[in-house]
């Protein structure tokens, strides 16, 4: 088995430095020689390997990392090999460590006996039930510091000793190189380096990494017990054998001092395990908030919640805080396909491993993405430019519209938000403070049929709002401006989330376009399926914009944004200007966005969002009957606004903040919006499940009940 393993690794992973073997005179890999006592000894001869030993305690991190890399390469070299001897009995078989339990009596100190016993009990409880579910193969099983040589650059120059080969879970192969690392002062960092380097070659599964702490303690138990047993049987080997134990007791004592759970979390965090993101931690939430204030200063938007949330992990519609508490995320519209979607994450990682450059080199991914976006648009919108944020593409749309119309005149709704650049901040009255006034920007009333000048009870209310655009055109004229660009967030998310009937936007855009202006559909909020009936919000309203901007959900969290525009607009712009963004449309961003589109398609998320939106509607309407604080419900698919009032007759606003806090206390994240801060903003990922929709509704029911 050893010979075939070496042969296999040599052919499959030739970069692994193995020791050269000298064949016997008749060309075989070993010779069998009878001893005087009548036993048969197998003899093999190797050439000297060049290099020196490093100890786990003093090896550089470079050496530790290279050991992890070589360990993974060995595993990769062996993974296709079958050998019946792989099933043999071996004391170092990690799965059989419990069979060593009778040796515990050899441990003299009762305190030490207790920690070994605890390690075995935990192994039995935590690891044993799960080991059989992990991928297994032939593994080297002893890629420890004692079995490798390093060159002067601290790279592995030789792997020795295939004597512990066994068929076992792949993750067990990482235990031998890791076994003594935690003796080091920088032990956690060294362990992280080892595992990270391993992962570069062979990605590890969460279930595998999560077992590392318990496997490590079991290995220490095995080291101590086997060494005591050997000492008893062959005192002549005392020096060699007792080396195995060196450091083991000290590491056990550290676990004991810290407590098993906190120690385990510490190790899990060091190796980047999904569940390692909980306590203990060196800093508190409060001290992190203080640091935020100190280093980010007063200009940054404030934290959410009176007692801020420290989030560390997400999966689907759920995010977890630093203490491991789950929250249903009904606020963040970026992760449309769910937090940490494995397909998106894999696409990003795969491309990041291959190459990341910019669009001044040819690459197929940004082109494929551009084609996919164009396919989803009305005909005529066939030019695509990439950037990294919604603000940037709105800025670019603004530049395009100005060059096309020759005008600076912009129209936005009263509390619109379109970005954070110098130009788009001027188009974002929601963020204007004090006396901010921009001569080139005219504001129109948003189509608010509940609070605004025209109410839903009035016939033709929406068209009255649409007619506002004529006043805006006149006002621009008075200021000496022709119609330039009208920016519309197709969900009016900063206006309290509005859902006017289609005739509103159709009429508004008709009048504006006839007056010579361009329409920019800002799909940063609504894009990528949020409406539950199509990929883009403008489709719900039945308009054909001149330019479309998108960002936020486009990469499910990876920064990527795009502008889609008519060719004549882009051509006009290019007469006097050019566009380039270093990161815009890079292959990694394109891979992210393409996989988001794939997931939306394959998981049929638009239809799913539509169905979940319907379920949410039904649930919320039930609450309207139960809670007089709900004044109005507005919804476009999975963008939902719940308008809160003190009193349905006066429609006096009821601040959303207490409800948002109450929902957090019940494990659900939502936000607030609207000029009066009284609208609950609900935007769950499109992958939200039925039971999660119900959880949201129940939490809102309970919160409103508690607020009386
Ligand atoms: N447009 C709209 C409608 C938005 O909601 C936002 C972000 N809240 C932006 C543009 C700006 O996007 P970003 O923050 O990615 O620059």
Structure confidence by residue, pLDDT tens digits, 308-365: 999 989 999 999 998 889 999 999 999 999 999 999 999 999 999 999 999 999 999 9
Cα–Cα distance for residue pair 686/311, rounded to 1 Å: 20
Helix 238-245 to helix 212-233 angle, to the nearest 10 degrees? 160
| Per-residue pLDDT at 279 | 46
pLDDT digits (tens, 9 = 90+) for 254-274: 999 999 999 998 999 899 887
Instruction: Decide whether any atom of ligand 1 lies within 6 Å of the 707 Cβ.
Output: no
Q: Quick one: tokens of 328?
A: 């249903």
pLDDT digits (tens, 9 = 90+) for 574-608: 999 999 999 999 999 999 999 999 999 999 999 99
Using alpha carbons only, how large is the chain's radius of gyration in Å?
Answer: 32
- CA-nearest residue, atom 13 of ligand 1: 390
Q: 42 pairs with which residues across the strands?
A: 32
| Per-residue pLDDT at 433 | 83
Strands 630-636 and 639-644: antiparallel
Q: Quick one: tokens of 229?
A: 């047993």
- Cα 386 to middle of ligand 1, angstroms: 15
Cα–Cα distance for residue pair 208/134, rounded to 1 Å: 7
Q: Domain boundary residue among 550, 570, 591?
A: 550
Nearest to 487, CA basis, from 548, 422, 529: 548
Instruction: Decide whether any atom of ligand 1 lies within 6 Å of the 581 Cβ.
Output: no
Instruction: Decide whether any atom of ligand 1 lies within 6 Å of the 394 Cβ.
Output: yes
Query: Residue 578 class from Cβ within 10 Å (0-12 exposed, 13-18 middle, 19+ buried)?
Result: exposed
What is the CB neighbour count within 10 angstroms for residue 253?
Answer: 13
644 inside domain: yes
Q: Provide the 8-state DSSP code for 50.
A: P
**Nearest atom, ligand 1, residue 392 CA:** 16
Instruction: Decide whether any atom of ligand 1 lies within 6 Å of the 418 Cβ.
Output: yes
Instruction: Decide whether any atom of ligand 1 lies within 6 Å of the 703 Cβ.
Output: no
Mean pLDDT of the chain: 95
Backbone angles phi, psi at 442, to 5 degrees: -110, 135
Q: 42 with 185, same domain?
A: yes
Candidates 412, 491, 551: which one to mutate for ligand 1, based on the most atoms within 8 Å of Cβ? 551
- Cα 1 to middle of ligand 1, angstroms: 61
Q: 654 pairs with which residues across the strands?
A: none
Token pair 């950037």: residue: 387
Q: 130 with 251, same domain?
A: yes
591 inside domain: no
Cα–Cα distance for residue pair 639/685, rounded to 1 Å: 10
* Rounded alpha-carbon distances, angstroms, from residue 466 to 427, 438, 462: 19, 22, 6
**Nearest atom, ligand 1, residue 561 CA:** 15
Q: 265 with 295, same domain?
A: no
Cα–Cα distance for residue pair 657/633, rounded to 1 Å: 17
User: Residue 700, preceding bond cis, omega within 30 degrees?
Assistant: no
344 inside domain: no
Q: Provide the 8-state DSSP code for 389.
A: S
**Nearest atom, ligand 1, residue 491 CA:** 3
Cα–Cα distance for residue pair 128/130, rounded to 1 Å: 5
| Per-residue pLDDT at 117 | 96
pLDDT digits (tens, 9 = 90+) for 17-73: 999 989 999 999 899 999 888 899 999 999 999 999 999 999 999 999 999 999 999
Cα–Cα distance for residue pair 633/82, rounded to 1 Å: 64
Strands 483-489 and 409-413: parallel
Q: Domain boundary residue among 533, 550, 567?
A: 550
Cα–Cα distance for residue pair 372/376, rounded to 1 Å: 7
Nearest to 164, CA basis, from 155, 176, 180, 182: 176
pLDDT more than 70, % of the chain: 99
Residue 280: pLDDT band (50, 70, 90) is very low
**Nearest atom, ligand 1, residue 552 CA:** 15
CATH of the domain at 60: 3.90.1200.10
- The secondary structure of 396-449, three-state, reads HHHHHHHHHHCCCEEEEECCCCCCCCHHHHHCCHHHCCCCCCCCCEEEECCCCC
CA dihedral (97, 102, 107, 111) in degrees, to 10, reads 80
474 inside domain: yes
Cα–Cα distance for residue pair 162/178, rounded to 1 Å: 18
pLDDT digits (tens, 9 = 90+) for 285-297: 899 999 999 999 9
**Which residues, 6 or more positions from 237, have their beta carbon under 8 angstroms from its beta carbon?**
230, 231
Instruction: Decide whether any atom of ligand 1 lies within 6 Å of the 573 Cβ.
Output: no
376 inside domain: no
Instruction: Decide whether any atom of ligand 1 lies within 6 Å of the 417 Cβ.
Output: yes
**Nearest atom, ligand 1, residue 390 CA:** 12
Q: 329 with 255, same domain?
A: no
Query: Residue 513 class from Cβ within 10 Å (0-12 exposed, 13-18 middle, 19+ buried)?
Result: middle
pLDDT digits (tens, 9 = 90+) for 654-681: 999 999 999 999 999 999 999 999 999 9
Instruction: Decide whether any atom of ligand 1 lies within 6 Å of the 247 Cβ.
Output: no
Nearest to 433, CA basis, from 299, 265, 309: 299
Q: 680 pairs with which residues across the strands?
A: 642, 672
Size of the chain, expressed as the number of residues it contains: 708
Token pair 């460590």: residue: 97
Q: 619 with 690, same domain?
A: yes
| Per-residue pLDDT at 435 | 66
Residue 239: pLDDT band (50, 70, 90) is confident
- Cα 214 to middle of ligand 1, angstroms: 45
Do residues 318 and 327 touch, judged by C-beta distance below 8 A? yes
Q: 332 with 417, same domain?
A: no
Instruction: Decide whether any atom of ligand 1 lies within 6 Å of the 524 Cβ.
Output: yes
**Where in 264-397 does DSSP place strands (E)?**
311-315, 318-321, 326-329, 381-387
Residue 474: pLDDT band (50, 70, 90) is very high
**Nearest atom, ligand 1, residue 416 CA:** 3
Instruction: Decide whether any atom of ligand 1 lies within 6 Å of the 489 Cβ.
Output: yes
| Per-residue pLDDT at 323 | 86
Q: 159 with 105, same domain?
A: yes
In the chain, the number of structural domains is 3
pLDDT digits (tens, 9 = 90+) for 408-449: 999 999 999 999 999 999 999 998 987 667 989 999 999 999
Instruction: Decide whether any atom of ligand 1 lies within 6 Å of the 395 Cβ.
Output: no
- Cα 332 to middle of ligand 1, angstroms: 12
Triad 684, 687, 690: Cα angle to 5°:
85
Helix 248-258 to helix 110-122 angle, to the nearest 10 degrees? 80
Residue 130: pLDDT band (50, 70, 90) is very high
Q: 540 with 432, same domain?
A: yes
Instruction: Decide whether any atom of ligand 1 lies within 6 Å of the 552 Cβ.
Output: yes
Instruction: Decide whether any atom of ligand 1 lies within 6 Å of the 551 Cβ.
Output: yes
544 inside domain: yes
Q: DSSP H helical segments within 79-140, as ranges?
A: 110-122, 128-131
Q: Domain boundary residue among 550, 566, 593?
A: 550
**Nearest atom, ligand 1, residue 421 CA:** 16
Nearest to 582, CA basis, from 559, 616, 566, 556: 559
Q: 205 with 73, same domain?
A: yes
Instruction: Decide whether any atom of ligand 1 lies within 6 Å of the 389 Cβ.
Output: yes
Instruction: Decide whether any atom of ligand 1 lies within 6 Å of the 490 Cβ.
Output: no
- For residue 502, is pLDDT > 90? yes
Candidates 300, 386, 419, 521: which one to mutate for ligand 1, based on the most atoms within 8 Å of Cβ? 419
- CA-nearest residue, atom 5 of ligand 1: 525
Q: 208 with 77, same domain?
A: yes
Nearest to 366, CA basis, from 338, 398, 381, 388: 388
CATH of the domain at 461: 3.40.640.10
CATH of the domain at 704: 3.90.1150.10
- Cα 549 to middle of ligand 1, angstroms: 10
**Which residues, 6 or more positions from 620, have their beta carbon under 8 angstroms from its beta carbon?**
630, 633, 635, 640, 642, 697, 700
**Nearest atom, ligand 1, residue 389 CA:** 15
Strands 679-682 and 639-644: antiparallel
Backbone angles phi, psi at 489, to 5 degrees: -80, 115
- Cα 675 to middle of ligand 1, angstroms: 17
Candidates 552, 639, 671: which one to mutate for ligand 1, based on the most atoms within 8 Å of Cβ? 552
578 inside domain: no
pLDDT digits (tens, 9 = 90+) for 625-648: 999 999 999 999 999 999 999 999
pLDDT digits (tens, 9 = 90+) for 180-200: 999 999 999 999 999 999 999
**Which residues, 6 or more positions from 625, have their beta carbon under 8 angstroms from its beta carbon?**
none
Candidates 336, 387, 391: which one to mutate for ligand 1, based on the most atoms within 8 Å of Cβ? 391
Q: 326 pairs with which residues across the strands?
A: 320
Q: DSSP H helical segments within 106-163, as ranges?
A: 110-122, 128-131
Q: 19 with 142, same domain?
A: yes
Instruction: Decide whether any atom of ligand 1 lies within 6 Å of the 419 Cβ.
Output: yes
Q: Quick one: tokens of 271?
A: 């190796």
Q: Quick one: tokens of 665?
A: 């206390």
Number of helices and strands in the chain (H, E): 24, 23
Triad 416, 419, 425: Cα angle to 5°:
80
Q: Domain range for residue 295? A: 291-337+604-708
Token pair 């607020």: residue: 707
370 inside domain: no
Candidates 390, 431, 496, 559: which one to mutate for ligand 1, based on the most atoms within 8 Å of Cβ? 390
- Cα 525 to middle of ligand 1, angstroms: 7
- CA-nearest residue, atom 1 of ligand 1: 418
- Cα 345 to middle of ligand 1, angstroms: 23
Token pair 């509940």: residue: 450
- For residue 278, is pLDDT > 90? no
**Nearest atom, ligand 1, residue 394 CA:** 10
Cα–Cα distance for residue pair 554/560, rounded to 1 Å: 6
Candidates 446, 495, 524: which one to mutate for ligand 1, based on the most atoms within 8 Å of Cβ? 524
Do residues 638 and 530 touch, judged by C-beta distance below 8 A? yes
Q: 251 with 142, same domain?
A: yes
Instruction: Decide whether any atom of ligand 1 lies within 6 Å of the 525 Cβ.
Output: yes
Element (H, E) at 271: none
Candidates 387, 395, 417: which one to mutate for ligand 1, based on the most atoms within 8 Å of Cβ? 417
- The secondary structure of 503-543, three-state, reads HHHHHHHHHHHHCCCEEEEECCCCCCCCCCCCCCHHHHHCC
């Amino acid at each position: 088995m050893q010979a075939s393993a070496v042969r296999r690794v040599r052919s499959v992973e030739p970069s692994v430095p193995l020791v050269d073997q000298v064949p016997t005179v008749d060309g075989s890999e070993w010779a069998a020689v009878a001893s005087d006592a009548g036993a048969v000894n197998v003899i093999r001869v190797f050439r000297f390997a060049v290099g020196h030993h490093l100890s786990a305690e003093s090896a550089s991190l470079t050496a530790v990392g290279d050991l992890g890399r070589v360990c993974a390469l060995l595993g990769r070299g062996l993974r296709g090999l079958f050998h019946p001897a792989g099933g043999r009995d071996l004391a170092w078989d990690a799965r059989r460590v419990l069979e060593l339990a009778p040796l515990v009596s050899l441990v003299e100190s009762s305190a030490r006996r207790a920690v070994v016993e605890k390690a075995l009990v935990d192994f039995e409880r935590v690891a044993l039930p799960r080991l059989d579910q992990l991928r297994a193969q032939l593994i080297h099983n002893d890629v420890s510091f004692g079995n490798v040589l390093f060159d002067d650059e601290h790279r592995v120059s030789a792997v020795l000793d295939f004597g512990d080969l066994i068929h076992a879970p792949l993750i067990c192969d990482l235990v031998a190189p890791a076994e003594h690392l935690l003796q080091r002062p920088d032990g956690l960092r060294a362990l992280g380096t080892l595992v990270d380097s391993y992962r570069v070659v062979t990605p590890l599964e969460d279930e595998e990494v999560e077992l590392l702490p318990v496997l490590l303690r079991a290995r220490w138990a095995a080291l101590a017990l086997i060494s005591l047993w050997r000492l008893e049987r062959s005192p002549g080997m005392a020096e060699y054998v007792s080396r195995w134990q060196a450091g083991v007791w000290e590491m056990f004592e550290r676990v004991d001092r810290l407590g098993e759970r906190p120690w385990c979390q510490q190790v899990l965090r060091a190796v980047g395990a999904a569940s390692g993101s909980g306590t203990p931690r060196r800093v508190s939430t409060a001290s992190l908030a203080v640091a935020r204030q100190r280093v980010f200063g007063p200009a940054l938007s404030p934290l959410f919640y009176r007692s801020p949330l420290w989030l560390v992990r997400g999966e689907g519609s759920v995010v977890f805080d630093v203490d491991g508490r789950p929250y249903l995320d009904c606020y963040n519209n970026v992760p449309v396909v769910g937090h940490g979607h494995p397909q998106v994450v894999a696409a990003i990682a795969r491309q990041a491993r291959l190459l990341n450059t910019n669009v001044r080199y040819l690459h197929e991914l940004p082109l494929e993405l551009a084609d996919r976006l164009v396919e989803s648009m009305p005909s005529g919108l066939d030019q695509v430019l990439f950037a990294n944020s919604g603000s940037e593409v709105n800025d670019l749309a603004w530049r395009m519209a100005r060059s096309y119309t020759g005008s600076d005149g912009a129209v936005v709704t009263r509390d619109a938000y379109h970005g954070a650049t110098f130009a788009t901040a001027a188009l974002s009255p929601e963020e204007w403070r004090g006396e901010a006034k921009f001569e080139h920007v005219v504001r129109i009333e948003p189509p608010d049929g509940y609070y605004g000048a025209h109410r839903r009870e009035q016939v033709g209310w929406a068209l009255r709002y649409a007619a506002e655009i004529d006043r805006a055109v006149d006002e621009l004229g008075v200021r000496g401006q022709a119609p330039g660009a009208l920016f519309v967030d197709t969900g009016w998310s900063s206006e309290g989330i509005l859902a006017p009937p289609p005739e509103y936007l159709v009429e508004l855009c008709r009048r504006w376009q006839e007056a010579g202006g361009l329409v920019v559909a800002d799909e940063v909020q609504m894009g990528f399926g949020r409406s539950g009936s199509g990929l883009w919000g403008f489709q719900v309203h039945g308009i054909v914009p001149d330019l479309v901007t998108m960002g936020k959900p486009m990469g499910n969290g990876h920064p990527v944004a795009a502008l889609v525009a008519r060719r004549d607009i882009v051509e006009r712009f290019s007469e006097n200007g050019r566009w380039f963004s270093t990161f815009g449309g890079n292959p990694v961003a394109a891979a992210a966005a393409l996989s988001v589109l794939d997931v939306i398609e394959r998981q049929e998320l638009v239809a799913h969002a539509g169905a979940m939106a319907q379920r949410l509607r039904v649930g919320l309407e039930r609450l309207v009957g139960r809670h007089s604080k709900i004044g109005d419900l507005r919804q476009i698919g999975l963008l939902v606004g719940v308008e809160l009032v003190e009193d349905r007759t006066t429609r006096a606003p009821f601040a959303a903040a207490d409800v948002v806090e109450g929902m957090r206390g019940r494990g659900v994240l939502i936000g607030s919006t609207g000029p009066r801060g009284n609208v609950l903003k609900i935007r769950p990922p499109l992958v939200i499940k039925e039971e999660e929709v119900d959880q949201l509704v129940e939490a809102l029911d309970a919160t409103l009940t508690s607020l009386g």
